[in-house]
Structure 1
Amino acid sequence: MDQKSPPRPTIDQLRHVANNYPIIDNHAHSLIISTHLDMIPFETITTEAQGRALRDTFKSLPHLRAAKQLRQLYECEEDADWEDTLEQRIEWFRSDPERLHYRCFEGVHALLIEDGLAGPEKFHPYDYHDRYTKAPSKRIVRIEAVAERLMESIVQHASEDDLGKTKFLTDTWLSFTDEFEREIQEAVQDYEVAGFKTVVCYRTGLDIEPEYEQAARAVGHPFERYVKNCIRKRNYRIEKKPLNDYLVLRTLEILSERLPNSDSLAKPFQLHTGLGDNNINLLESNPAFLQPLVENYPNVPFVLLHSAYPYTREAGYLATVYRHVYLDVGEVFPMVSRDGQRAMLRQAMELVPGSKLLYSSDGQWFPEAYYLANMQFREVWLDLLTEYVQKGDLTPNQAIGMTKDILFNNSNLLYDLRYKAVFDETIQIPPKQLTYNPNPDTNSPYQSSAATPGPNTDLFNRATTSQMPSTPSVSPYSQPTFPPPKVPQVYDTQLFHKFKEQNPEVKLIHIQWVDYLAIINVRIVPIKEFTRMIHEGERIGISQGSASRLQNNVPVTVDDSRGQGQIYVEPDLRSLRRTHNKEHVPSATVLSYWRTENGSALPEDPRNNLEMLTNDLQFNHSMTLLVGFELEVTFLSRNASSTNPHDSEPYSALTNTHGLNTMTSEQWLQLPFICDIILSLEDMGIELQQFHSEGAKGQYEFIFAPLPPLQAIDTLLQTRQVIFQMAALHGVRATLHPKPFKGIGTASHAHISLHPPERHMQFFVGGVLQHMPAICAFSMPEEESYTRVMDNESAGGTWVAWGTQNRETPLRLISPVSGHWEIRCFDGFANPYLALSAIIAAGLLGLTANQTEFPHQDLQLNPSTLNDAGRVKYGITQRIPRSIEEALDALVKDGALVEALGQEVVGRFLEMKQGEMKMLEGMGKGERRVFLIERY
């Protein structure tokens, strides 16, 4: 029997796709935090007017049309006036704000969020919006925001007197350019960053100097004037043409570097063009100015934002004749009338291929902004395509393909997102048969004898039944050289390929993760299989019970039901690092997250928890941290007479003629393996700042450069492995045990700097010190940890206190100018992700409390030498826990810290510690000591 050909798509099918196909919004901004909703007039949702000019917006077509649609959104009466509408809106926010948000983001698959708006403490972080979309949001980095934040940090303590110093401006320029380049490079490698953006258009215009060397030479005097203004605290806004041009050119240079081949494209670069507030110079916002710049950087995709309105034709010409230029058709929805929107789309489609057009909302502040843009674009787009189909310029199938491209496919490909459109192609058939209407005067050449639904009837009430055929989500006219991704993006393939090019000899990848008891787990994967995993977006599945096993591999509970579930281990390619050259086979290590089957974060993942807290600090409080570790290690030799692994004294110190900062002949004889450690770290790109002997026998300290929290801990763990492995190659045992012998203990102090430092007291004294007893449960998690913490031994002491350069307190202030503190109650038994998470969570609680005065005072004395009255004078009323049981009890009672860390994390940690303590209690003292030395 001959198969019948499926019926061809019709206008009804086009309507269904146009109204319902998922959207990738390639340019949006963050929602404003609800407590700040009143700071911006809601009327700005449809206009760029400000101040007195805003009064006239109520009589504009964009406002009147949006007001009608908002009445429908809030379920108001049709004759409700603007004040009634606003009252209903406020009621929705009071009664059920989440319902409003979900409704406003209906149909949005993913958002690319430019999070560089001023005052980030008033806006939600970019990943906050994931709750309303099908796929995770990605960042767009505004380069001017990066530069302004850096300059604020650099000159925050400078004065007018510094301007007269010979090297001040030179040093400032070098710091500024080095830090700017570092941040852009990091963003290029960050898979959370989809692209970059400049607002040079409404700062100094689009007539950008196209030659990088010329731009760099022109910066001198304007930069000096800019620095003077910053020191005088006028503002940090960069509005000097040579400097603005330089930032654009430097970013483009960085994006163009180290591409795999001459045909490769970098991460996209968005340019604000067209619509803007009254700061914009309309004459200089014409994208035609960009042509020389576009030609000089053929490997950087340029995205011309906001339809370049009113210069849409000029932007369309660039998008047509250059393969790496794209036109975004956002912001005119809902800022322009319906006719204006139609005219803009017509102009865009006069020349521009459908594969070069991108949808965006430019939504910001209010959820309704995304809603209106979504609704109005779909409405006008469908209206226009229906007209082109009627005239015979497009077939319905071509119109459907073009719709899928502009809404989803083009952004998905350009930004290398690798998302998969989830869409039911079927539609509900009207009750009567479709017939062809040859009357050319009707609106559509395909018409049903039944009533035709309006253009947006499906938007919030999608049909699921049909006899219509499904059509592929791939554009029918897209180029075969750009097939749609087959898997959702999980990894930054560009970052991985860069690593492979630099390390072609690597054969094995050690995929690692750290459990709650700080044991590093590993799966070793050949590079070929790892490459396949990365390209196909796969993770490694392990039993949920794997995260609930003690150091002896015994489940924490015999009837642990977690053995029935799966954890999906996802390598974080940012931590991918070549191992030392003494590895048996050339290898690399990579640290990992724990994910669910659908790729979302597991709440109990210590690594992800740290990243979330760091993001909270950055995006909700405009602060960042740098963390540097002092890694103390004791090197041991196995006693020749010891053959029993459970011998109470199988180890002795590697060196006995030993002291703080000494290098005796006995120590010198051990330098070969220590030099192997130092050279291996250097080859791996791990920056060691200092190395010296410590006070205990066989004890040395390695001091490392400060890094962002996640990177600092990843580097710490990779360093530990190098030290352990190099020691083992020389027959030496390295241990982090805090008290392997009587006397001086072994710590792992954490140095933390808060940027900007203005609120460092609130963070550390108001937060960290306040919750110190509970933090100790994570930072000193074994009974042996508390034998190290003694008074009068520069070990942090036993009292909850802080002091400037005071090593007898657990919290030492090193520099108030840089917000630099040292956490001394921290040792090598700790899972560093959990311990640092507890510190940041406590600091966040201190920032939220917003104290300005603190009972704990700067202590310049040893607190153990004070009597009770003397300690009360300094606000010292608590001791550090004297045992792990006390610390765990303090954690359980610290409800605020438990909530800040998350019940899942704390609950799993307590469960693991209870099981471990029971196991260790069954051992003799000597057996327990050896057991821990062998594992830490």
Structure 2
Amino acid sequence: MSVIPIYADLGILHTPASIAAAFTTLTIQDLKNAGIKYIHIQWVEPSNIIRLRMVPISHFEKMLQSARPGIGIPKVTGGFVYLVTAEGYGAAGEYLYVPDMSSLRLCPYAPGTASIFGWLEEKDAYKGPDGQMTAKTLVCPRAKVRDLVAEAQKDGVEFLIGFESEFNLLTSINPVRAGSHHQYGGARGLLVGLPETKALQEIVDALIDSGIKVEACHPEAGPGQYEIVTGPLSPLAAADVLVHTRQTIVNIASKHGLHATFAPRISMTAPGSAAHMHISAHRVGEKKPKETLSSLEKSFLAGVIDDIRALSAITLPIPASYKRVGDGVFSGGTYVAWGTENRECPIRLSNATSPSSRNFEMRFIDGTANPYLVVASFIGLGYAGIKSKRELHLQNFSSASGPALLSEEERQARGITQRMPLTWEESREHLTKSKALREVLGSEFVDKYLSVNKTLAGALGIHDGDEEKSLTHLVELY
């Protein structure tokens, strides 16, 4: 009989080096061998609207042979919500969307199809702040992740990120209705005869066949609610995989007569859906202690916490986002706090005494947030904390319950002095004033984001006063 090493690290050992070593890229020849006929060139707007162009592989191959490969994208689309244009966007101008060949991925949900992401660039080079000619734009969320990761790597700092995708499978959207009703983790949520079960199995198979490591799939607590967990990756790859996972879910669900939605909450009598992000910070050659957070981890966490309220405008971007969060409903609570395995804190420390798998679960994110902006914001704020060797003043909230159940005096004694934003308006106010996030994302970009975000909220609010129509409108978009 083997002895279980109860003091060993928990979980599978992942390091930035091991993840990088396992990463593979496809070639055009690989696509031809797989019978691929079409390429979905995809990008995600700041409003988290996924757009694509379907291009025959014959044309895509010729495009790659051109002097500067790419497709034209009107600049105004970044400000489009339906056909409403956000302030600050106009009809003139076009970006070149340059494909990133390292992001090529098969799409088993659409036979004969592969997808690819890229970078928004200016069509004409211009003189940058450093005096050098460049084509970089200030508005490409995906490029922001790339550049922030590269900056941190120069300092020997690396990150691993994994996402949980929570979603509801609906049998009707007008009215909104789920077919399966089950408990959290309940076996009845995966009965053999359910269309949801058939769809979920096909979704998981498709993700694995596209090269994505799926760690788990299980019923969540809400009506028709499920979760799929994918493994840790480099920041850019993690955001790409999240988008691919969502595309796989919605397409295969549709095939089975179901509508998949990542809306924050479809019922005020049941839990909402989040997009929890697990992130770990590493320094090359540095070993983490078992008993406590490393200085790197502490400074990373301090950088995030110091601007967490402004960050909410990125991670909880629409008015409906604030219907999901609350105290006592396992949504991360409403107080600025972090705690070991505490789901009533917006930041949960997971596997605290296992250095090789220790990570921070960011619980104040939902599926309406743009994954690239989320990742860029966390890395930018966290790395700023690391660079400045920021001290972590907020102590680990070590309690079986959440901060909301303490008295004001008890919270003050633990250093819990701030609430998370409770409304969309409040979070936007914090972002507007945030010097840190303006430095991370660029002040011009933050202003554009706030403009689009306002337009999005207006478009989603056209049925205010009619809860049923508003919910249908929300699940149609997200």
Mark yes or no: TM-score above 0.5.
Answer: yes
CA distance in 2, matches of 1:651, 1:663: 24
Match for residue 496 of structure 1 among 15, 20, 27: 27
Task: Provide the residue aligned with 2:172 in structure 1.
Answer: 638
Residue 601 of structure 1: aligned partner? 136
What letter is aligned with 1:570? Answer: V
Cα deviations across residues 432-472 of structure 1 (Å, max 9, x unaligned)?
xxxxxxxxxxxxxxxxxxxxxxxxxxxxxxxxxxxxxxxxx
For residue 323 of structure 2, what is the aligned residue in structure 1?
Answer: 787
- Find out whether 1:777 has 2:313 as its counterpart: yes
Distance in structure 1 (CA, Å) of the matches to 2:16 and 2:412: 44
CA contact (8 A) 1:765 1:856 kept: no
* Cα RMSD after superposing both structures: 2.5
For residues 774-827 of structure 1, what are the alpha-carbon distances to aligned partners after superposition, in whole Å with 9 as ceiling and x for unaligned? 111000101111111111111100100000111100001113424411000000
Residues 283-321 of structure 1: per-residue CA shift (max 9 Å, x gap)? xxxxxxxxxxxxxxxxxxxxxxxxxxxxxxxxxxxxxxx
Report what 1:907 is aligned to.
Answer: 447
What is the 5 A alignment of 1:798-837? 798-816=334-352, 817-818=355-356, 819-837=358-376
User: In 2, distance between residues paired with 1:588 and 1:565?
Assistant: 28
Q: Which of 503, 518, 524 pairs up with 2:54? A: 524
Deviation at 1:555, TM superposition (A): 1.4
Q: How does 1:229-244 map to 2 (within 5 A)?
A: none
State the alpha-carbon separation in 2 of the partners of residues 749 and 902 from structure 1. 25
Instruction: Show the counterpart of 1:749.
Output: 276
Q: Aligned partner of 2:192: which letter?
A: W
Q: 1:647-666 residue pairs with structure 2 within 5 A?
A: 647=174, 650-656=175-181, 658-664=182-188
Aligned: 1:540 with 2:79: no
- Secondary structure class of the residue paired with 1:916: helix
Letter in 2 for 1:933: V
CA distance in 1, matches of 2:171, 2:241: 26
Q: CA deviation at 1:853?
A: 4.6
Instruction: Give how far 1:904 is off.
Output: 2.5
Alignment of 1:261-276 (within 5 A): none
> Which structure has the bigger radius of gyration?
1
* Corresponding residue for residue 436 of structure 2: 896
Shift of the 665–783 alpha-carbon distance from structure 1 to 2, 3 Å rule, reads closer
| Alpha-carbon distance in structure 2 between the residues aligned to 1:594 and 1:526 | 21
Q: What's the secondary structure of 1:789's corresponding residue? A: coil
Q: In structure 1, what is the Cα distance between the partners aligned to 2:148 and 2:454?
A: 26
Paired residue type of 1:524: M
- Contact kept? 1:803, 1:809, Cα under 8 Å: yes
Cα pair 1:841 1:900 within 8 Å, conserved: yes
1:704 corresponds to which of 195, 216, 230: 230
* Distance in 2 between residues matched to 1:179 and 1:763, nearest whole Å: 19
Aligned with 2:145: secondary structure? helix
Q: CA 1:760–1:928 in 2, change beyond 3 Å: closer, same or farther?
A: farther
How much has 1:179 moved relative to structure 2?
Answer: 8.2
Pairing 1:843-854 to 2, within 5 Å after superposition: 843-854=382-393
Give the Cα separation in 2 of the matches to 1:752 and 1:181: 16
What pairs up with 1:165-176 in 2 under 5 angstroms?
none
TM-score of the aligned structures, taking structure 1 as reference length: 0.45
Q: What is the aligned counterpart of 1:726 among 252, 255, 272?
A: 252
TM-score by length of 2: 0.87
> Does residue 440 of structure 2 align to residue 916 of structure 1?
no
Equivalences for residues 243-392 of structure 1 within 5 A: none
Superposed displacement of residue 665, structure 1: 7.4
CA deviations on 1:625-680 (whole Å, 9 max, x unpaired) are 110111111111117xxxxxxx5xx1211212x01111227743222122111111
Give the AA of the match of 1:660.
Y
Distance of aligned partners of 1:900 and 1:507 in 2 relative to their CA distance in 1, 3 Å threshold:
same
Tell me how far apart the structure 2 counterparts of residues 703 and 908 of structure 1 sit (CA, whole Å).
Answer: 32
1:867 aligns with 2:410: no
Take 2:91 and 2:337, find their aligned partners in 1: how far apart are those partners?
44
Letter in 2 for 1:586: G
Please, which of 89, 97, 101 is the counterpart of residue 569 of structure 1?
A: 97
- Name the residue aligned to 1:591: 117
Residue 796 (structure 1) aligned with residue 332 (structure 2): yes
Cα deviation 1:241-266 (Å, max 9, x = unaligned): xxxxxxxxxxxxxxxxxxxxxxxxxx
Quick one: structure 1 residues 785 and 864, their matched pair in 2 at CA, closer, same or farther if it must change by over 3 Å? same
Take 2:16 and 2:52, find their aligned partners in 1: how far apart are those partners?
35
Residue ranges of structure 2 left out of the alignment (5+ in a row): 6-12, 126-133, 289-293
Query: Does the Cα contact within 8 Å between 1:632 and 1:748 map onto a contact in 2?
Result: yes
Question: Which residue identity lines up with residue 668 of structure 1 in the other structure?
Answer: V
Q: Is the 8 A contact 2:212 2:241 kept in 1?
A: yes
Which residue number in structure 2 is paired with residue 514 of structure 1? 44
Cα distance, 1:529 vs structure 2: 0.5
Equivalent residue letter for 2:140: D
1:898–1:182 distance in 2 versus 1, CA, 3 Å: closer
**Residues 834, 705 of structure 1: alpha-carbon distance in 2 compared, 3 angstrom cutoff:** same
Q: CA separation in 2, counterparts of 1:849 and 1:569?
A: 35
Q: Secondary structure at the match of 2:455?
A: helix
Q: Look up the SS of the partner of 2:85 in the other structure.
A: coil
* CA offset digits 1:836-893 (Å, max 9, x no partner): 2111121122223313451444332410111111111111111110111100101112
- Aligned partner (choices 159, 162, 172) of residue 625 of structure 1: 159
* Offset, 1:508: 0.5
In the TM superposition, residue 525 of structure 1 has moved relative to its aligned partner by: 0.6
Preserved CA contact (<8 Å) 1:801 1:859:
no
Q: 1:606 touches 1:905 (CA, 8 Å); kept in 2?
A: no
2:359 and 2:76 mapped to 1: Cα distance? 40
| Cα 1:828–1:849 shift into 2, 3 Å | same
CA contact (8 A) 2:43 2:52 kept: yes
Which structure is higher in strand share? 2
Deviations 1:155-178 (A, max 9, x none): xxxxxxxxxx9x9xxxxxxx89x9
1:631–1:702: 8 Å Cα contact kept in structure 2? yes
Paired-residue identity, %: 31
Structure 1: gaps of 5 or more residues:
1-164, 168-174, 190-494, 640-646
Contact 1:859 1:874 in 2 (8 A): no
Match of 1:695, SS state, is: coil
Amino acid at match of 2:44: V
CA distance 1:514–1:179, shift in 2 (3 Å): closer
2:378 aligned with 1:839? yes
- Shift in Å, 1:896: 2.2
Residues 392-431 of structure 1 aligned to structure 2 (within 5 Å): none
Give secondary structure in 2 for the equivalent of 1:796.
coil
> Using a 3 Å threshold, how does the CA distance of structure 1 residues 900 and 673 change in structure 2: closer, same or farther?
closer
1:683 alignment counterpart: 209
Which secondary structure state, in structure 2, belongs to the residue aligned with residue 518 of structure 1?
Answer: coil
Question: Partner amino acid for 1:517?
Answer: S
Determine the C-alpha separation between the residues in 1 that align with 2:429 and 2:64.
43
Distance in 2, Cα, partners of 1:185 & 1:674 = 26
Aligned length: 442
